[in-house]
Structure 1
């Protein structure tokens, strides 16, 4: 017997896409704040440049691993998509909150 799927919510894929869209907006804001930080216009810690490289390795590993496990269990596409997105969104959301609190540098 194959995996069961709850068809009672026709908007499951749309919800996953909206979740990823929110992640993309947060990521854009984080890139913007980090670039301003590199230019001396946003308050960022000295370790920010190293952090923005190293954090991606663990987040993308977790994303790929969770998506692969969900796919191997025969989960539907929206579940696989959300499993892949959650580790990445946790990072973008945390970075967005942290960098927003730091704010622009006073001139």
Structure 2
């Protein structure tokens, strides 16, 4: 096990947490009419959770089946979750505030 793997996992978890909070804030602002969000955003936010969890679980399982250590399996899982949070943050950030 790499001695710095726990540090990398911690930083990855922090990045995911910050991105997730920003996405939640934009979605709540969208529900209040303050942020421009697509009409299907409420459905999408409910639909994407099981998909993201399934992809993260699959990535961790494949890492374990390939014989990787637990920290590599966690990193594989978190990179899948991080891919979703990054995509949501980028997509919602482009839309911007709704002043109309």
Aligned pair 1:53/2:53, yes or no?
no
CA–CA separation in structure 2 for the residues paired with 1:21 and 1:32: 17
CA–CA separation in structure 2 for the residues paired with 1:95 and 1:72: 30
- In the alignment of these two chains, the number of paired residues is 100
After superposition, the C-alpha distances for 1:32-90 in whole angstroms (9 at most, x for unaligned) are 10001011110000010011011112111010111122223332222011111111111
After superposition, the C-alpha distances for 1:21-42 in whole angstroms (9 at most, x for unaligned) are 1011000000010001011110
Runs (5+) with no aligned partner, structure 2: none
Which structure 1 residue ranges, 4+ long, deviate > 2 Å from structure 2?
A: 71-74
| Greater fraction of residues in helix | 2
- Residue matched to 1:24: 17
**Over the residues paired in the alignment, what is the CA RMSD in angstroms?**
1.4
Runs (5+) with no aligned partner, structure 1: none
TM-score by length of 2: 0.91
